[in-house]
Each structure stands twice: as C-alpha cells, then as structure tokens.
Structure 1
Amino acid sequence: MAHNMSQLNELIEITRDGQHFYQHAMEAVKDVELQHLFRDLAQAKTHVIQALSVKVAANQEQPAQGGTTAGKLREVYADTKARLSDPDAVYVDQLDQAEERILGAFEDALKTAEPDVRALLAIELPKLRACHARIHALNHRDEGR
C-alpha cells in the first residue's frame, strides 16, 4: 500500500503543477475567455488534488504539498517564450502539453495500482480527459482549416 500512496503523492504533485500553471497563465493572458477557461481548469485540478489527498490521508500518510521541478520549469519556459511571441498561444500550447503529462501519469498509474486506488483513479480520469480535451481542442482549432 505504501507504493500506492507514493504513487498518489506523485500524481498530486503533477496535478498541482497543472493547477499552478493554469493560475499563473490566467494572470498572464489578456483574453477574458482564456482567463475563464484557465480558472475552470485550475478548479478541476483542485478537485482532483483534494480527492487524491483524502485517499492518502485516509491511509495515514501525508499528502504531497508541492509540485515538481519539471512543472516549475515549464512555467518559466512558457513565460520566456511568451515574451517573444503571442502569449495566449504560448500558454495554450504549454498547458496542452502539461495536460498530456498529467493524463499520461494517471493512465500509467492506473496500470499498476491496487484495486482501491485503481477505483479512485477511474473516477478522476474522466475529469482529466475532459480538461485535456478542452485545452487540446483550443490549441489545435486552426489545424483543420
């Protein structure tokens, strides 16, 4: 069970990266619709983090409180790139990639998790897929034209 709690804490950290990145991007973009979308997606991440944290705490473990270095580096990269081109497009693209990282981590964890953790991940995964679909569609909206 300790492995599963460690795995859940890693997922909390990766999801928190996404949450922080959305909050950061929300302040960096000027487009009001993007700000609203980013707020909604940050909130979705908050709900996932809470669900995972409850499971970790229920197993007498301490839920992860921070994010990852990779997540912070992605924000710094996006900030730098945004100064050189269209900030809205840069943040949408980088958030799309962050969503892919989160989704991949959850799907990988689902393969090795014990049944009770797998059940929790199965509940949270559709929420993450929906977040990914929203930002991915926005990021690739002009490709079909």
Structure 2
Amino acid sequence: MNPATQQLNELIEITRDGQRFYQHAIDEVKDVDLQHLFRDMAQAKTQVIQALAVKVAACHEQPAQGGTLTGRLNELYTDARAHLGNADGAYVEQLLQTEERILRVFEDALPDAQPDVRALLAVELPKLRACHARMRQLQEARS
C-alpha cells in the first residue's frame, strides 16, 4: 500500500469513528432535535468517507472498512458517563471532542499529503470544519 493510500485509509477510519459514534448517539439521546442533528452529522461523515474511499479505490487499493480502537473506547466511555447522569450532555461533549480529533487529524495530514490527496482534503476540510462549528455552537449553547 502506498503512503497516500495508507494516509487516506487512516483518515477513513477516524472519520468512521465519528460516523458510528453519531449513529450510536442517535439511539441514546432523548432530545429529538439532537437526534436530527446527529443524523445530519453522521450523514456528513458518510459523505467524507465516500469521497476518500473513491480515491483509495482509484489507486486500486481496498478502502478501510473499520474504525479505530480509540473511537470505540471513547464511545464506551461516553455510554458509561451517560448512564451516570446527563446523557444528552455527555454525548454532546464527547462528540465535540470527536469532531476536534477528526479536524486535527485532517489538518495535520494536509501539509505532508501528496498533491492529489491535498486537493481532496482541501475539498473535504470545509465540511469537517462546519461540523465542528455546529457541535461547538451546540456545546456553548448548552453551557
């Protein structure tokens, strides 16, 4: 696997962590508005994953199918916190941290990426920044 494909697959895995976490949170929160927001956010992650996967497939490689252990552990930690208190608040807080992680990893990947990957990331980054901003605004409004 070439370095560009490996980098894209790592980004797919981290983005999939967010996608799965939002999908899980939809079933855990009680607030219908949060459920709708989380559905939108999961869909945004799906679109980013698809764009990255197309690029990996174009390189005749297999796109990553899973997430990361860190992502799964974060989800389990949030479930435990949610059962101890304010479930909706726990999910909002941890999903914001997930957004921050995804955004940081994409921004860190940009300078070292090959030109064609850099172009793809430049297209996807505004979507990720918008998701991050939505979750930050939600967190601030709930504080």
Cα distance between partner residues in 2 of 1:124 and 1:47 = 9
Cα distance between partner residues in 1 of 2:102 and 2:46 = 13
- Does residue 107 of structure 2 align to residue 134 of structure 1? no
User: Identity over the aligned pairs, expressed in percent?
Assistant: 68
Aligned-residue offset at 1:142: 4.7
Structure 1 runs (4+) greater than 3 angstroms displaced: none
- Give the TM-score normalised by structure 2: 0.98
Unaligned runs of 5+ in 1: none
Partner of 1:69: 69
Partner of 1:53: 53
Cα distance between partner residues in 2 of 1:112 and 1:26 = 35
Cα distance between partner residues in 1 of 2:73 and 2:142 = 27
Partner of 2:120: 120
Cα distance between partner residues in 2 of 1:38 and 1:16 = 14
Partner of 2:4: 4
- Give the TM-score normalised by structure 1: 0.97
Aligned residues: 143
Cα distance between partner residues in 2 of 1:139 and 1:76 = 20
Partner of 2:101: 101
Aligned-residue offset at 1:141: 1.8
Cα distance between partner residues in 2 of 1:85 and 1:136 = 21
Partner of 1:43: 43
Alignment deviations for residues 35-64 of structure 1 (CA, whole Å, 9 cap, x no partner) = 000000000000000000000000011100
Partner of 1:27: 27
Aligned-residue offset at 1:86: 0.4
Unaligned runs of 5+ in 2: none
Cα distance between partner residues in 1 of 2:130 and 2:78 = 23
Amino acid at match of 1:8: L
Query: What's the secondary structure of 2:110's corresponding residue?
Result: helix
